[in-house]
Amino acid sequence: MNRCIRIAEELGEGARIFLPEKGVPGIWGEEDIMRAYAFLPLDRVVRTTGSEGEWSLIVLDRKSTTLKEYRHLCGSTPTVGIDEGGEARGYIPFLIDTLPLPTSKGRANLFSSSFLDLPEKRKFTQDAFVKVLITFGGEDQAGLTEVMCNFLLTKGFFRADQITVIRGPLFKDNSVPSGVTVLGDVIDLKQRLKEYDLVFTSFGLTPYEAVYAGVPVLLLNPSPYHEKLTRIAGFPSIGVKRPKSRVVRNLLSSPKKLKERCEKIAPKESASIASLLKQLRFPETLGCLACGEGANPVIARFERRTFYKCKECGIIYAKDFFERGERYNRSYFFKEYREKYGKTYLEDFPQIKKLASSRLEIIKKIKPQEGLSLLDVGCAYGPFMVKAAEAGYRSYGLDIYEEAVQYIRRRFGLAAYATSFESFDPQESFSVSQFDILVMWFVIEHFEKLNKTIHKVNTLLKSGGVFAFSTPNIEGISGRTDMLRFLKYSPEDHCFVWSPSVAKILLPRYGFKIHKIRVTGHHPERFGFKRGEAGKFVQKSLLLISKAFALGDTFEVYAVKEGEVG
C-alpha cells in the first residue's frame, strides 16, 4: 500500500488507488487498511474499477492474482504487474519485479531492487552490533516478533536495553519482555533504519531497505517459501519460525563479514517505478493481429518487449512497450550491414541479385506468362527488381527509404515509390490498380497489423496472382534448440515470428492457396557444435539433416490468390 500511494503521488492528478467496496479475499479489509494507513489520501481512492476504457493504465501491485481476478479487475486495459506471483503473471503485458521470485514463476520484463522505495544512505558505519531492531511487518501472523525477542535475550546475544521492537497496527496481542523498547506504528520506518546496527526481519521490502541504508540484516522466515526467496536473494538466514542458535552465533561473531555480505546485496541506486510507467507505450490491442484471438499467454519477456503465442493460429507475436528509433536509414544499409555481413548493402548487391534467380524460377513455374507485373514491397536498393526486369517482368518497387528509391530510379530507370505499405495507393504511385505478382523478401515480419497487411496484399493482386515472401523460421534449428535466445535476438522491428505450419493455417483465411514452401537458411554450425569442433564430414551430414527435416532458420512461401477477402 505504501508503494501504491507513492506511485499515485508521483504519477500526478490522474492517478487513483483502488480499494474494493466489499474487500478482496486474501487481503486486509477496509477497516484494517484504514487503521494501518491513516495517512491514506482519501481523495485519491476509488471504490470500483469503472467501465471498460475508463483508465489508460492499471498497475496491479498484489502478491498473487488469479486469472479470473485479473480479467475482472483489468479486462482489456493495459496493465503493469509489480511482484506478481499468481497465475495472472502469465498474461499481464508488462511485469516489474523488485524482489526475486523462483525461476518457475518465469522472468519479468524488468527486475531490479532499485525500484524499491529506498531510504537515504547511512552516513556512518558501526563495527559492532550495539542497537538492534526487530520488525516483522504490520501484522506478523506467525508471531515472530515475540519469538525473536525472547530468543536474543534468553541466549544472551543482547540485553533488553539494546533491543527495539516495531509493533505493527494489526498485531495480535503478544507480550514483549520488560526493558525492550517498543515502537508503535512507524509511518516511514525505512528512514529510521540507519539508527540501528542490525535488523532482524523476514523476507520482503525491509531487508533491502536496511542493506541500502548500510545496516546488516538477519532473516527469520515464517515459511519455507520465504526461506527459498531469502536464499535466492542471498540474504543471511537464521531459520524458519525458530532461529538456530549456532547459525546466529556464527553470523554475529564477525560484524565486518556480515556487513560485507549484506553490502553485496544492496541495490546500487534508487529508481522510480512512476518514471518508468511514464515511458511505457502500449499497443492498441494486446491480442493477435494475424487472426484476431485476444487472450493469449506470454511465452517470453525481455526488457523492451513481451512475446505471445496465439492459441488460435499458432503465430508468435511481440508487443513493444518503448518508442523505437528510426530504423531504415543510411546507417542501416551501410554501417550496420557492414558490421553484420562484412560489406555494405550495395557491395553485397550482386550476391542478393543472384539469390533472386531461384525465386523467380519458382514464380515462373507457377505463373509462366510473359510480361507480368511484379511489385517488390520493401525493395531496398532494388536487386530483386533489377533481376525481375531482366527476366521480362514489368518491375515495380516500394520502400519507405527515400534514398534507396531515388537510387533505383536514377541507376536503373525502374518505377519505384517511397511510402509505407499501409499508405500505398497503386493507382496514385504507378497508375495501375492490381499486380500479377507481389513479393516481400524479409519484410512481412515487420508489419504490426498483419491482418490488414495480408488483406491488402489480396486486394492488390489479380485473381490467380502470386504472393511470395521470405521470413525467419521459429521451427528451424535455432528456434527449436533455444527458443528464448532466438526471440531475444529477434530484431526489435520484427512484430511476428512465422513458421511453415503457421503459414499453412493463416494464408487460406485470406484467400490464398499455398503452392510451395521452401525452407532456407541452413546452418550446420547451429546444431550445438562450437566453431572448429565438427569436421567437414560432420558439417556435410548436419547440412543434409537440416535440409531433410526442414530445420533451416528461414523459409519462403509461394501462394496463389484463389478468392477475395471480405
Question: Quick check: 495 and 446 in contact, CB under 8 A?
Answer: yes
Q: Tell me the mean pLDDT in the region 554-558.
A: 97
Range in 88-92, 184-188, 375-379, 529-533 with the lowest mean pLDDT: 529-533
Question: Quick check: 55 and 267 in contact, CB under 8 A?
Answer: no
The CB density around residue 172, as the number of other CB atoms within 10 Å, is 9
Q: Is the pLDDT of residue 528 over 80?
A: no
CA distance 244 to 261: 19
Question: Quick check: 36 and 1 in contact, CB under 8 A?
Answer: yes
Q: Is the pLDDT of residue 532 over 60?
A: no
**How many whole angstroms from its chain centre is CA 551?**
27
The grid coordinates of residue 257 equal 563479514
**Rg of the chain's alpha carbons, rounded to an integer?**
31
CA distance 140 to 153: 20
Closest to 477 in 3D by CA, of 520, 514, 518, 441: 520
Q: Is the pLDDT of residue 220 over 70?
A: yes
Residue 443's φ and ψ, nearest 5 degrees, are -130, -35
The grid coordinates of residue 91 equal 498474461
Q: Is residue 233 part of a domain?
A: yes
User: Average pLDDT, whole number, for the chain?
Assistant: 90
State the pLDDT at residue 348. Answer: 94
State the pLDDT at residue 499. Answer: 97
Strands, sheet with 305-309, edge to edge from the N-terminal-most edge strand: 298-301, 305-309, 316-320, 496-497
Q: Tell me the mean pLDDT in the region 520-528.
A: 79
Q: Is residue 68 part of a domain?
A: no
Q: State which amino acid sits at residue 425.
A: D
Q: Is residue 138 part of a domain?
A: yes
Q: Tell me the mean pLDDT in the region 453-464.
A: 98
Q: Is residue 340 part of a domain?
A: no
CA distance 330 to 345: 10
Residue 317's φ and ψ, nearest 5 degrees, are -135, 155
State the pLDDT at residue 152. Answer: 97
Q: Which residue has the higher pLDDT, 547 or 539?
A: 547
Residue 332: DSSP 8-state: I
State the pLDDT at residue 127. Answer: 77
Q: Is the pLDDT of residue 438 over 80?
A: yes
Q: Is residue 547 part of a domain?
A: no
Q: What is the band of 508 on the pLDDT scale with cuts at 50, 70, 90?
A: very high
CB burial class (10 A; 0-12, 13-18, 19+) of residue 300?
buried
Q: Is residue 176 part of a domain?
A: yes
On the CB side of 316, CA atoms within 13 Å amount to 25
Q: What is the band of 29 on the pLDDT scale with cuts at 50, 70, 90?
A: low
**How many whole angstroms from its chain centre is CA 153?**
48
State the pLDDT at residue 390. Answer: 97
Q: What is the band of 36 on the pLDDT scale with cuts at 50, 70, 90?
A: low
The grid coordinates of residue 12 equal 500526478
Q: Residues with Cβ < 8 Å from 25, sequence gap 6 or more?
A: none
Q: Pick the most confident of 23-37, 40-54, 125-139.
A: 125-139
Q: Residues with Cβ < 8 Å from 12, sequence gap 6 or more?
A: none
Domain count, the chain: 1
Question: Quick check: 337 and 348 in contact, CB under 8 A?
Answer: yes
Q: What is the band of 474 on the pLDDT scale with cuts at 50, 70, 90?
A: very high
Q: Which residue has the higher pLDDT, 388 or 269?
A: 388
The grid coordinates of residue 362 equal 519458382
The CB density around residue 431, as the number of other CB atoms within 10 Å, is 8
State the pLDDT at residue 526. Answer: 77
Q: What is the band of 535 on the pLDDT scale with cuts at 50, 70, 90?
A: low
Q: Is residue 52 part of a domain?
A: no
Range in 84-98, 394-408, 522-536 with the lowest mean pLDDT: 522-536
pLDDT single digits (tens) 330-374: 888 999 899 989 999 999 999 999 999 999 999 999 999 999 999
CB burial class (10 A; 0-12, 13-18, 19+) of residue 46?
middle
Q: What is the band of 520 on the pLDDT scale with cuts at 50, 70, 90?
A: very high
The percent of residues in the chain predicted with pLDDT above 90, rounded, is 70
Residues, the chain: 566
CA distance 18 to 199: 33
CATH number at residue 173: 3.40.50.2000
CA distance 386 to 393: 10
Question: Quick check: 78 and 320 in contact, CB under 8 A?
Answer: no
Q: Is the pLDDT of residue 157 over 70?
A: yes
Task: Tell me, letter by letter, the H, E, C secondary structure of 210-263.
Answer: HHHCCCCEEEEECCHHHHHHHHHHCCCEEEECCCCHHHHHHHHCCHHHHHHHHH
Question: Quick check: 473 and 554 in contact, CB under 8 A?
Answer: yes
Domain that holds residue 220: 132-265
The CB density around residue 33, as the number of other CB atoms within 10 Å, is 16
Q: Is residue 35 part of a domain?
A: no
Closest to 265 in 3D by CA, of 401, 370, 46, 118: 118
Q: Is the pLDDT of residue 416 over 70?
A: yes
